Amino acid sequence: MELSHLIVDAPASGRVGPPSWDSSFLNPRNRVDNLDTTSSRWRIDGATICGTCVYAIPLDLLPNLPPLRVLLYISDQTEYPAALRQSLDACTGVPLRDGNAISRLGLAKHLCRALDYHCAKNPGFLQEYSKLPFGSRLIFEDVTPDVADMMLYVERDYGIEKNMKTLQYLQQSWSDIAQDAWPPAVDINELRLVKQLNEAVILVEFSGQSRAIFKCASDSLHHMYHELRFLLTCPPHPHIMPRPLAVVLKKSAFGGRSGVVGFLLQYFEGGSLRDIIPARQRSATLSDTVKLRWCRQVASALTHLHEMGTFYSDLRPDNVLLDAEENAVLCDFEQRGNWYEWSPPEVLYRQYVENIRARLPERVVNSPYDHLLKEYACSHSLSTSACYTPAESPIEARNRAWFALPPSAREKATVYNFGLFIYCVFEGLSNVRRNVANQFPIEPEVEYPTFRRTPEAVRKIIQQSIGNPPDWDTSELQSRSSRVVRVNGLLYPETRTDLEPDTRQAFDAVMDTLLGFWSTELIRAERFLEGADWSAGDFGRDRASLRDVVDALESQAEDLY
């Protein structure tokens, strides 16, 4: 959607603009006259990817507001005038993942004013808000310069409350968990919202002034229950999220039954390594000794999971927290899978095909992806796992690219992720590479495989972990594999960031780069599915085992100490 900032309905050639007076930023009708929020009755804590789902908190209901997970939804930025997008910093906010940065955007301030106006116009609104079903929505269908023109709709969503399971049901279904192993149950009205950290994570107070993390149901009850069960059954480990402090219940509007809508976890005030690593690297307070300690602690956690017979598919710096003693603690066990830049070929290209299959009609003749889909479906050792079966759980179906791998291949995929994690730690980076969809407070300055700070011995561990992915970068593919990057909220080809915005040339260059990138990715996927690794299902042969990586890190620690 951010392409709209470059051009919309471009002419055949020449400059796109200047805009007409009706859409011009110079026209007062298209500008917001006031973004002052000093008297606002609302606060913006953050937003999801693309900025269309906003965490808006009614200040008048604090400090006694339970965490109801009522989110504000707004129209995509392409649906309101370019001049308004500019004045509200809407384009800049699309990739932001930092709540503080999002709250400072013009868009956040404008939404607070619009909510203020609605509350003043409808005095009973906040009373209605406090009685909404868990997971309901507030919706501004249009974002306009004048907040009086922004109609607010309330969507009472009963989906979560209708489908949530009772505590008794979960206890009976999970009969392998002893009754005394369950944490206490608390009613959601005993919790007090402090801050919404992301779509499914809320900082709350309970039992007086104690703070905890409320991990709640978002788009999938299945994933929340999966993580709850994992944490209840995982043997304690110092570098894995401790067992839940409590199970959170919510009384449903359907017959008044109480169901499980989430659970409470220990709050780690230090935050995640995503922000800690680059900040401390810049301040020169991050020694190689500390970096190695964190890597060894994460390796210990991964080994613990491997010995349990399970795996961890979400390893990134933002899923590793620091406790009060600055020890690393692994979190987020929903098993949704990892991002593009963290995925080994056997996961990435399988996921490409799964995404295509999910979006195509059931019967397609002469699809442009026919060859790719055919290679994916060819009979081999993983064919039964690659197709949906009635026995497949919703968790497995959502992350089939990982769950379809045999255990040995999952270990090698985990080692691949871990190698990239070690790279981020020693290079002092928030992510292994810049990501057009996610922008962090401190963006990566280099990308793998460029090394600047990593000691030679650690480089060797990283390279042994990642292995040697097949080299498909022939001159033909390499010339088409340039990426699109974001600069000051606008998209440009990676090699042509000096293009003048709002021109036909800029638009064509971005679109050509996007098409070239994805056509190259699909060619690589086809070649992988035609290769020996896919047919044999023997992935990551050239990567070290998890035990080998652990031993190498321990040896490195002995050398440092």
- Please give the torsion angle defined by the CA atoms of residues 513, 514, 517 and 521, in that order, rounded to the nearest 10 degrees: -170
pLDDT digits (tens, 9 = 90+) for 360-387: 766 565 677 888 888 887 644 444 444 4
Q: Which residues contact 49 (CB under 8 A, 6 or more apart)?
A: 95, 437, 438
Going by C-alpha positions, the residue among 215, 202, 195, 229 that lies closest to residue 45 is 195
CATH 3.30.200.20 domain residues, the chain: 161-266
Indicate the residue type of 327: N
- Please give the torsion angle defined by the CA atoms of residues 462, 468, 472 and 475, in that order, rounded to the nearest 10 degrees: 70
Distance CA 10, CA 446 (A): 35
pLDDT digits (tens, 9 = 90+) for 87-97: 898 888 889 98
Query: Could you identify the residue written with the tokens 């098409």?
Result: 515
Across 191-197, average pLDDT: 97
Q: Which two tokens stand for residue 27?
A: 């026209």
Number of Cβ atoms within 10 Å of the Cβ of 179: 7
Residue 418: predicted pLDDT: 98
Indicate the residue type of 330: L
Q: Are 8 and 82 in contact (CB under 8 A)?
A: yes
Domain 161-266, architecture per CATH:
2-Layer Sandwich (3.30)
Distance CA 435, CA 439 (A): 7
pLDDT digits (tens, 9 = 90+) for 479-498: 456 889 988 888 899 989 99
Q: Is residue 16 pLDDT above 60, yes or no?
A: no
Mean pLDDT taken over the chain:
88
Rounded to whole angstroms, what are the CA distances from 474 to 254, 358, 480, 495? 60, 30, 10, 19
Q: Is residue 5 pLDDT above 50, yes or no?
A: no
pLDDT digits (tens, 9 = 90+) for 104-158: 999 999 999 999 999 999 999 999 999 999 999 999 999 999 999 999 999 999 9
Q: Could you say which DSSP state residue 437 is in? A: T
Across 406-424, average pLDDT: 96
Q: What is the pTM of this model?
A: 0.91
Indicate the residue type of 67: P
